[in-house]
Amino acid sequence: MSRTDIGNIDDLATLSNLDEAILLEELKCRYNQDKIYTYVGDILVAVNPFRDIGIYGKEVSEKYKSQKRTANPPHIFGVSDAAYQAMVTGSSIGGKRNQCIVIR
């Protein structure tokens, strides 16, 4: 592979060529950098680090609140905030009122 940015692509769907070998190479390189989350389009791929890498604290969570997906590195907090925002605004169901109760 002639790319020099291996392991630094947050969304693999943006690559011009993506096959199994490239996917595995990217995930391995990101894993070795403690980047356990990677997007492939709307899909969040997670690789278990089998140890605590300190990415689940309150300060990390706050970085993802009400942010665009591209504003921060891939993380489950980004996916959960996007789902929450879609739920409370109704944007995922054509602007209709949501039929849920949000407990804070």
For 49-84, the pLDDT digits (tens) are: 999 999 999 999 999 999 999 999 999 999 999 988
Task: Note the pTM of the prediction, 2 decimals.
Answer: 0.83
Q: Report the distance separating Cα 57 and Cα 44, nearest Å.
A: 19
pLDDT of 71 reads 96
Mean pLDDT of the chain: 88
Q: Report the distance separating Cα 43 and Cα 8, nearest Å.
A: 17
Q: Determine the average pLDDT of the residues in 4-16.
A: 92
For residue 98, name the pLDDT band (cuts at 50, 70, 90): low
**Angle formed at CA 41 by CA 38 and CA 44, multiple of 5 degrees:** 35
pLDDT of 39 reads 98
Q: Determine the average pLDDT of the residues in 89-99.
A: 60
